[in-house]
Chain A
Amino acid sequence: MASYSTNEFRPGLKVLLEGEPCTMLESEFVKPGKGQAFTRVKFRNLISGRVWERTLRSGETMQAADVIDRELDFLYSDGDFWHFMTTDGNYDQVAVGAAAIGEAKDFLAEQSRCQITFWDDNPIAVVPPNFVELTVTETDPGLRGDTAQGGTKPATLETGAVVNVPLFIEIGDMLRIDTRKGEYVSRTKQ
């Protein structure tokens, strides 16, 4: 596997840190005039999502991580695994476990095209599209005439996620959701 020297460091580089795949967020060359040169790097661990900070001596190397992002369509969940299909025309299926799916499971609509990160060919992270459409399976009955007041109430979506919605939303409504914030955007149809 290739490795990168500190002078090749740049944001977006995928490297192994403590045996785990990380993406570089930023890298800064620091050197006192009369002192040793260092490179200070911030990483995001691609498995845990945590941000790590390390300082390397100039000239040190890090091993590259075999990490690739691919687009797949979500098919269904059997409760233990979330099943996706490749979009390259081969219709290969990929099963993603709970650890890798993380919070993305709240916003997976059937057929939605997701970005899946693979490390050594294993899926480690899933990013749903920015906007998905999901059906309301449970919410208190809305009170007619309250629409102008701008009040909200919780509603449960087909994935089990709960979002705040306006009072006029009813069970069976299809909602447009911003997956980055986990927020209601609009009602698409009744």
Chain B
Amino acid sequence: MSEAWQPSAAIETLLQRAHLLERTRAFFKERGVVEVQTPTLDRYGVTDVAIENIVVPAYGYLQSSPEFHMKRLLAAGMPSCFQINPAFRAGETGRWHNPEFTMLEWYRLGFGLAELMAEVAALVDWLLGPAKVRSMTLGELVLDAFGLNVYSPSEKAVRAVCRDEGLENPRDLHEAMDFLIERAIANLGIERLFLTDYPSDQAALAKVATRGGRRVALRFELIVDGLEIANGYDELRDVNEYQRRCKQDNDRRRLLGLPQKLKNPLFEAAMAAGLPDCCGVAVGLDRLFALALGKHGLHEVLAFTAS
């Protein structure tokens, strides 16, 4: 591959991108959501098993999301706020992935998950034009696609379906399920879709509740044209639960041979001081802009991609 000095996106596209950024900011201004800026470099990374931070020797980690800092702002009294900033994830390179990408993240005090989903849908309508949004639980998605129960799957059945779908030897049930969920979404062919009711072991920093007799994470994702666009939570406020999940992450990291990660003590202290009741969501803004402009990969909307 020869490297060119020119931008990977057309100048005309970058001008359109500038306009979309203005429209995004206008969306939040109209709703009284204030723009904040937090660091992209910090001493602490994340424990999430599926996210690897980019390490900056002697300084810490490039942030994979502004979540910890923004929640520390909320705990200190910041009202509903949004941020558009670079986020970094090691090892993620592809048509729809770049190690550095633009994340739009916002938090709404006093919102329930349904209100936040409505606001996400409104933003997508605002940038892409209106379209119908469907909603289904992750349980319905996986049952329809493969006849499997995502909440209490039989390992044998999951492995058999994985083999049929082209993944030979998943290392564990988590990996097998990640693969099947991705396949189910790719094969769905629904333009805009909210997925809800994630299994409780995929809660990350969302609350867990009992729905229909099952423990589910109060989380949603928005899929647009088969692409994951938004990931929203009814935010966990219980510091003991945060500590428990960090330990669970690190236990699984050990099993998979991944580096151990420290839990974030400043975030922990903020939670202990009291995070207000809120919902928050992260949007892959480059992807959303690509969809708005009819482009077929991040390289067409990023001025320069990582080489």
Instruction: List residues of A whose CB falls within 8 A of some B CB.
Output: 7, 28-38, 40, 53-55, 57-58
Q: Is B57 an interface residue (CB 8 A)?
A: no
A29 touches B179 (CB 8 A): no
B182 touches A30 (CB 8 A): yes
- Contact residues in A for B204 (Cβ distance below 8 Å): 34
- Contact residues in A for B284 (Cβ distance below 8 Å): 33
- Nearest CB to that of A35 among chain B residues? B178
A57 touches B166 (CB 8 A): no
B97 touches A32 (CB 8 A): no
Among B96, B168, B182, max chain A CB count under 10 A is at B182
- Mark out the residues of chain B between 130 and 166 whose CB falls within 8 Å of any chain A CB in the assembled complex: 165-166
Question: In angstroms, how far is the closest chain A Cβ from the Cβ of B172?
Answer: 10
A30 touches B94 (CB 8 A): yes
CA distance A37 to B202 in the complex (A): 15
B48 touches A34 (CB 8 A): yes
Chain B 168-190, CB-CB to A under 8 Å as 1, else 0, gives 10110011001101100010000
Q: Can you list 16 residue pairs at the A/B interface with Cβ under 8 Å?
A: A28-B94, A29-B93, A29-B97, A30-B186, A31-B97, A32-B181, A33-B284, A35-B50, A36-B178, A40-B166, A54-B166, A54-B167, A55-B165, A55-B179, A57-B167, A57-B170
Among the listed A7, A28, A38, which residue makes an inter-chain contact with B179, where contact means beta carbons less than 8 Å apart?
A38
B228 touches A38 (CB 8 A): no
Question: In angstroms, how far is the closest chain B Cβ from the Cβ of A19?
Answer: 14
- Contact residues in B for A36 (Cβ distance below 8 Å): 50, 174-175, 178-179
A31 touches B50 (CB 8 A): yes
- Contact residues in A for B181 (Cβ distance below 8 Å): 32, 35
- Mark out the residues of chain B between 256 and 307 whose CB falls within 8 Å of any chain A CB in the assembled complex: 282, 284
Among the listed B92, B166, B170, B228, which residue makes an inter-chain contact with A37, where contact means beta carbons less than 8 Å apart?
B92
CA distance A33 to B67 in the complex (A): 14
- Given A7-B91, A32-B181, A32-B182: 5 more A-B contacts, CB < 8 Å: A31-B50, A33-B221, A34-B202, A34-B231, A58-B91
CA distance A32 to B223 in the complex (A): 11
B182 touches A38 (CB 8 A): yes
Q: Is B95 an interface residue (CB 8 A)?
A: yes
Question: In angstroms, how far is the closest chain A Cβ from the Cβ of B169?
Answer: 9
- Contact residues in B for A57 (Cβ distance below 8 Å): 167, 170-171, 175
- Contact residues in B for A32 (Cβ distance below 8 Å): 50, 178, 181-182, 228
Among A31, A34, A58, max chain B CB count under 10 A is at A34
